[in-house]
Structure 1
Amino acid sequence: MLTKMTLAKGRGAALLAALKKKREQEKVVGVGDAPEEAVTKEEPPKPRGRAALLQKLQESRLKKVGGTLEPAASTSHSTSRAPVPESKVEELSKSVLEISFTEKDVVTYRGEIGKPLNVSANYIRLQIEKGRGVYEYEVRFNPELDAKNRRIRMVNLIMKELGSVKVFDGGSVLYLPLKIVETQQTFHESLPGPDGDQEVSTTLIFKRKKSMGERECLHLYNVLFKRIMHILLYTQMGRNYFDTEHKYLIPQHKLEVFPGFAVTVDELEDGLMLSLDTQHRVLRTENAYELLNELRSSDPRRFKEMATSSIIGSCVFTRYNNKTYIVDDVAWDMTPQDTFPTRDGGSISFIDYYKNQYNIIIHDTHQPLLINRRSVKVPGQTEKAERMVCLIPELCYLTGLTDAMRSDFRVMKDVAQYTRVTPNQRMAALRTYLGNITKSEKAQQVLSDWGLKIDNGVINMTGRQLDNEVILFGGGQSHQTNNSADWNRAIGENKVTGPIDMLNWIVFHTERDKRHAMDFAQTMCRLGGCYGVQNRAA
């Protein structure tokens, strides 16, 4: 039976033509009849650029180690590529060696202008003895000792029995130059106190051994110099150390100035360095309790209001532990007779606490307490916990200057006589400090026990003094500055280089500040013309 076929058109015709062409190609190559080797395949493209370089590097690496150079296989074709000739591999290896990275000297940028001069820095070099090590231990007390001096005294009793030098900052980290226990060991000692002896158990837990040259030993160096400052009779206030024996008194303003140093050990490009910088601490001879009594007598009705504005935010110094605190609040409903919980689950009053821990007798048992809030790390927790510290006003000495003192020219002039020092005076203070270390046998012994040696001078270097800058103004005008870099007068006499007119501007103010706003607007209009700026107030 014959049927009539319709000729394909459009897309169908194109598909039939492609199918016919494919069948003709299969007949030519003999698909299905000819062996697999007779099938002609397209040559894979050769790698170029970075791929070619990586392939040649791999082949040269195999050549060096005596491996067989296997041709790399293509990811889309199974035909293998011919191996690279040995002559090309050797040539490539030679080229790679020629372009290999070489170590270069450190790039130092130096200017060329200015006048050369010799300068000295407030850094002193520390030398480390080779082969020395540090053993770190954790210290735990039972019962817990809050006073720093009692913790140090307890560790001193243990180290006296062991006959070993130590570095202990009064916290929980102990550094020894020798390993005394493998894992941990507990010592039982009787600690004398004002109310009799107290049995205290101290546990030393070995943490790790560190090399003296490691950067992690920076904490050790800083703790070590804390001990040296203590040997030299310096008192720590905050993070710095001050000489309380040679203080400067300003009795007419009820002030005293303590000279001291900011001491920091750090590892710099040129080795381990000790940084020394002169510091001064201004303390008032009156304490917070005297200030409260003075405010109460001046205006009893507004006493609490004035006390809050005067005390809150101020920094106080407690001489019994040489610490500074920021007063965050005043607890009017609390007195030294109140109790607080201890770590062993009991409770103790503030009067008994200061008597037991510091042998201090509180005279006024009805005075309010000062509150200090701080965030501390809690073992086993990632977030810090807030702790509240209650302070006794009669034990807190006021530090710093009040706003009234700062605005008083006579006070600032008298204080500046001791706090403003010249570069020569700074260098003299550093040399005095180094001389005290050299003369102190205990300080030298501390350094030698840990394999350290301090230089007898500061770091000297060559600097450059630049010429005074020329200030460029608008209209081609310029001004040569002087050594004090003062060009206030010139800026009022010359126009700026790129003035921008302020034709529409508004000053928003309250009705109470209307007079100040008008003065500000008039000043802007008056000074704008000097700078070449046209403006007018809306």
Structure 2
Amino acid sequence: MLQVSNSGTLDSKGYAIMSDKNDCNLAEGGDSSCEMGNPRANRRCQITGLPDGFDKTGIHGEPTLFVANFLPLEQQPDLAVCEYRVEFDPPVESKAVRHRLMEQRHIQEDLDSAFVFNGTALYAASSTKLEGMYMARLPNTSEEINIRLHSSTRLRQNHPQAIVCYNIVMKSCMDMIGLKRVGKSHHDDQEKIELRECHIELWPGFETAIKQCENRLMLCIENRFRVIRTQSVWDVMSYEYERVRRNPKRFHAKMDEMLVGATVCTRYNNKMYRVTSINYGMSPVSTFTLPDGSITTLKEYFEKNYNLTVTQSEQPVIICEWRTKQADSLPCVVYLLPELCFPTGLTDTMRQNFRFMKEFSHHTVMDPEKRRKKTENLLRRIRNNDKCRILLLKWGIELTERLVSFHSWELEAEKFIGIHPQGYFGKRADMGRVMHYNGCFRGMHLENWVVVFCNTAMAQDMACQFIETVKDFGKSMHIAVNHPLLQTCSDTTTSSYHSAVVEAMERMATLRGRQERGRNRNFISIVRKIVLQMNCKMGGAPWKMNIPVKNALFVGYYHYCDPILHGQTGACVSTTDQDYTKFYWALYQYFINNDRTLPEKIFLYCDGVDEEQIGSFKEQGVSLVQQACREAITSSGLKPTCHRMKLAVIIVTKNINVRIFKCGADSTFTNPSPGTVVNSTITRAEKNEFYLVPSHVGLGTAKPVCYTVIYDDTGLSPDDHHRLAFKLCHLYYNWQGTVRVPALCQYAFKLASMMAQSVHGEVNKELRDKLFFL
């Protein structure tokens, strides 16, 4: 069937907002609260309750003034949100029809209150009671329908379901000022930026979410850009069909590669869909059954409902499927015509175009001051709009004048320790410039290695320069380098290089191929990175950090979901030594490498866990880890009464809308320094969480990462967790600085993505204690 959603509507008096499923489900709507009318909502919002008297704020570091992209909200203290159960007599099965009944003007005038209706319940911000009987008529038959409202409960202003209503109200304000709702965000198509070279448009916009922070409700405002192509999917199909010389088999394979798993935009309703498959057996004249039982063709449907003329009768049909979050729900299926939808995002060809990417970044990479001006302009448009003022007033909400400011902490710069114990302190957490004289903490002997190059004079000269540079750099880094085996190939094609590698190597190895056309101006930097990566793949470590926690096991977990194959892969990477520089993706190795002893503490950092999954992860995942610890103690021969492993489980969330700015003396915004920690004001009161900015950002705006401690009996203080997370961000050896998440999570992500996309099975056991997946 073809799914059609009802869009929200608001009358001229600002009375009613009809919310469809996407409005009420905040997994779709961009907020971290809960679904309206969902009994699991409250449980999701209180998954990490703090013990009485627990103080999660830190005190170590340099106190600094910061500003976040949060706007405090003022609320009328006497105006609460009331929930009403709605009954229709006779019963109305269609949710869409129930919406249309509540949209009728006389119903809104009789209620005389701002309300949100989700199909089964009505939420109103009113000091008067609305229960009673109301009469409406069916749109098609004029049959009388009695609508009875039963008073259910009075919600406090910070109740999760009240926050859902406030978010729907905020989305309606965005609609009123002329922004177009596209997916979770709103965009201004009147301010679109055209990049004609690659046939794309940039729609600037915002994503908003009202959240309950420490002591008040706040509106989070994040800048967004939507990349929309001006060429339709049908234009792309026609172009690729000619490129493969009209070969159907090659064409179908190419379309699966380009479109399946990609997101397309339908401009007739400004919605985003992820492509599941392409049905070449269907066409615009294919029929389907409407909810009322009538049969129509796709072509007739789009002409009748959207006034769109379909001209290409031979085009296939795009299939988009997904499941709702309700248990045991049937998959939702949407049919799209390539002629009427447009690809989104950038292609690989665009990303390889330096001129285009420079222009693209000029528009999309915004520094803190530019973000500030865009946000202030949005708030000015909302405040100056009469409809927005009326609507917000009816719901008892007032936007304050300025973004929230607060004092927080900057942690001290960490010391990179190489072969020399004095190490290197870098305020920008950048190790690249001092690697040559700081030495390598643990260098491996590069004994057997192969250099493959083309059989030309220039390639031979490049290979000799490369080998000499590798030896020179290895000497300064205390990495022993033997002369390599030289292997030539006939030309520069991939197949020739592959044949040469197969001929030179009789056993499996992890390789990095590079083709050079003349000497690169960054030749020395490239060689240094290659040497360091080879050293890491063999078990070496460029540096270590001073981590005072001893007899501990640090574990990184990543849950990888393949968007194309819809497969799921989980990967674990753990430390195996007391310097925390050896990593292994099986926990048993710790027992072997540490004189058959088990750790006293385990720190598990989990990445790739959605907000909706945190509750079930705490209820089920933590107990499974504890059970595994008990089994490990029993299997090792130790007595459970004499040895107990303490556990801390931390959820790491990268994809958040929070932005933190450092406030200068002249009130200008700049990026925070590496080591900035925020654990108050904008965090949630019921959770032990903090935000960390681990990296220096020169262009654009820094993106903090949220850490949520869902279980902890290790005895570490909040300050200890802050500094420990910052230290672990320094141990990713494929980058000469810090990464956004603890290095163990980044290693787990690399491992999980390789297993899911390429290997699809177990790898050689001899590689398990090596970072072969870098």
User: What letter corresponds to residue 254 of structure 2 in structure 1?
Assistant: M
Partner of 1:288: 233
CA contact (8 A) 2:180 2:270 kept: yes
| Displacement of 1:252 | 1.5
Which stretch of the first structure deviates more once superposed, 325-334 or 151-160?
151-160
**What is the aligned counterpart of 1:352 among 289, 300, 303?**
300
Partner of 2:319: 371
What secondary structure sits across from 2:323 in the alignment?
strand
Q: Which runs of 5+ in 2 are unaligned?
A: 1-51, 451-496, 515-526, 541-765, 768-774
Using the alignment, how far apart are the partners of 1:356 and 1:399 within structure 2? 26
Alignment of 1:162 with 2:110, yes or no, is yes
Alignment of 1:338 with 2:282, yes or no, is no
Using the alignment, how far apart are the partners of 2:409 and 2:317 within structure 1? 55
CA contact (8 A) 2:83 2:154 kept: yes
Alignment of 1:174-253 (within 5 A): 174-178=122-126, 179-182=129-132, 187-190=136-139, 206=150, 208-213=152-157, 214-253=159-198
What secondary structure sits across from 2:430 in the alignment?
coil
| Displacement of 1:267 | 0.9
What secondary structure sits across from 1:385 in the alignment?
coil
Using the alignment, how far apart are the partners of 1:199 and 1:355 within structure 2? 29
Partner of 1:497: 441
| Displacement of 1:435 | 1.2
Alignment of 1:46-85 (within 5 A): none
Using the alignment, how far apart are the partners of 2:146 and 2:351 within structure 1? 49
Using the size of structure 2 for normalisation, the TM-score is: 0.48
| Displacement of 1:417 | 0.9
Using the alignment, how far apart are the partners of 1:291 and 1:430 within structure 2? 36
| Displacement of 1:211 | 2.2
Structure exhibiting the larger radius of gyration computed from Cα positions: 1
Using the size of structure 1 for normalisation, the TM-score is: 0.67
Using the alignment, how far apart are the partners of 1:534 and 1:333 within structure 2? 52
| Displacement of 1:331 | 0.7
Using the alignment, how far apart are the partners of 2:94 and 2:83 within structure 1? 24
CA contact (8 A) 1:501 1:535 kept: no
User: What letter corresponds to residue 354 of structure 1 in structure 2?
Assistant: F
With over 3 angstroms needed to count, the CA separation of the structure-2 counterparts of 1:143 and 1:397, relative to structure 1, is farther
Alignment of 1:439 with 2:387, yes or no, is no
User: What letter corresponds to residue 527 of structure 1 in structure 2?
Assistant: V
Which stretch of the first structure deviates more once superposed, 301-310 or 156-165?
156-165
With over 3 angstroms needed to count, the CA separation of the structure-2 counterparts of 1:521 and 1:323, relative to structure 1, is closer
Using the alignment, how far apart are the partners of 1:525 and 1:288 within structure 2? 40
CA contact (8 A) 1:318 1:396 kept: yes
With over 3 angstroms needed to count, the CA separation of the structure-2 counterparts of 1:285 and 1:143, relative to structure 1, is farther
User: What letter corresponds to residue 314 of structure 1 in structure 2?
Assistant: A
Using the alignment, how far apart are the partners of 1:308 and 1:321 within structure 2? 25
Using the alignment, how far apart are the partners of 1:212 and 1:372 within structure 2? 39
| Displacement of 1:274 | 0.9
Using the alignment, how far apart are the partners of 2:156 and 2:537 within structure 1? 63
Deviations 1:289-324 (A, max 9, x none): 111121223321133332232221110011222211
| Displacement of 1:237 | 1.4
Alignment of 1:258-337 (within 5 A): 258-298=203-243, 299-301=245-247, 302-337=250-285
| Displacement of 1:232 | 1.4
User: What letter corresponds to residue 211 of structure 1 in structure 2?
Assistant: L
With over 3 angstroms needed to count, the CA separation of the structure-2 counterparts of 1:414 and 1:137, relative to structure 1, is farther
What secondary structure sits across from 1:221 in the alignment?
helix
Using the alignment, how far apart are the partners of 1:404 and 1:153 within structure 2? 50
CA contact (8 A) 1:327 1:370 kept: yes
Alignment of 1:399 with 2:351, yes or no, is no
Using the alignment, how far apart are the partners of 2:109 and 2:180 within structure 1? 28
Partner of 1:384: 329
Using the alignment, how far apart are the partners of 2:69 and 2:94 within structure 1? 40
CA contact (8 A) 1:495 1:530 kept: no
Using the alignment, how far apart are the partners of 1:322 and 1:106 within structure 2? 45
| Displacement of 1:270 | 1.8
**What is the aligned counterpart of 1:122 among 69, 75, 81?**
69
| Displacement of 1:198 | 9.0
Matched residue count: 420
What secondary structure sits across from 2:372 in the alignment?
helix
CA contact (8 A) 1:159 1:165 kept: no
With over 3 angstroms needed to count, the CA separation of the structure-2 counterparts of 1:285 and 1:156, relative to structure 1, is farther
User: What letter corresponds to residue 335 of structure 1 in structure 2?
Assistant: S
What secondary structure sits across from 1:376 in the alignment?
coil
Using the alignment, how far apart are the partners of 2:534 and 2:278 within structure 1? 52
Q: Which runs of 5+ in 1 are unaligned?
A: 1-102, 192-196
**What is the aligned counterpart of 2:82 among 126, 134, 146?**
134
Alignment of 1:488 with 2:432, yes or no, is yes
CA RMSD after TM alignment: 4.1
CA contact (8 A) 1:331 1:371 kept: yes
Using the alignment, how far apart are the partners of 1:279 and 1:391 within structure 2? 26
User: What letter corresponds to residue 187 of structure 2 in structure 1?
Assistant: F
Using the alignment, how far apart are the partners of 1:353 and 1:438 within structure 2? 40
User: What letter corresponds to residue 304 of structure 2 in structure 1?
Assistant: N
| Displacement of 1:136 | 4.0
| Displacement of 1:330 | 0.5
Using the alignment, how far apart are the partners of 2:188 and 2:386 within structure 1? 19
Q: Percent identity?
A: 22
**What is the aligned counterpart of 1:527 among 517, 526, 531?**
531
Deviations 1:268-303 (A, max 9, x none): 112111111111111111111111121223321133
With over 3 angstroms needed to count, the CA separation of the structure-2 counterparts of 1:224 and 1:438, relative to structure 1, is same
What secondary structure sits across from 1:275 in the alignment?
strand
| Displacement of 1:145 | 7.4
Partner of 1:48: none
CA contact (8 A) 2:131 2:151 kept: no
CA contact (8 A) 2:278 2:318 kept: yes
With over 3 angstroms needed to count, the CA separation of the structure-2 counterparts of 1:207 and 1:398, relative to structure 1, is farther
Partner of 1:473: 418
Using the alignment, how far apart are the partners of 1:260 and 1:529 within structure 2? 40
CA contact (8 A) 2:136 2:145 kept: yes
What secondary structure sits across from 1:308 in the alignment?
helix
Using the alignment, how far apart are the partners of 1:317 and 1:534 within structure 2? 46
Which stretch of the first structure deviates more once superposed, 259-268 or 343-352?
343-352
Using the alignment, how far apart are the partners of 1:529 and 1:357 within structure 2? 57
| Displacement of 1:210 | 3.0
User: What letter corresponds to residue 271 of structure 2 in structure 1?
Assistant: K
Using the alignment, how far apart are the partners of 1:529 and 1:320 within structure 2? 49
With over 3 angstroms needed to count, the CA separation of the structure-2 counterparts of 1:529 and 1:199, relative to structure 1, is closer
Using the alignment, how far apart are the partners of 2:384 and 2:529 within structure 1? 66
Partner of 2:477: none
| Displacement of 1:481 | 2.3
Using the alignment, how far apart are the partners of 2:304 and 2:273 within structure 1? 22
Partner of 1:109: 58
| Displacement of 1:215 | 2.8
Using the alignment, how far apart are the partners of 1:226 and 1:420 within structure 2? 25
Using the alignment, how far apart are the partners of 1:361 and 1:529 within structure 2? 56
| Displacement of 1:521 | 11
What secondary structure sits across from 2:359 in the alignment?
helix
Deviations 1:75-133 (A, max 9, x none): xxxxxxxxxxxxxxxxxxxxxxxxxxxx969564222x43x432211111112212333
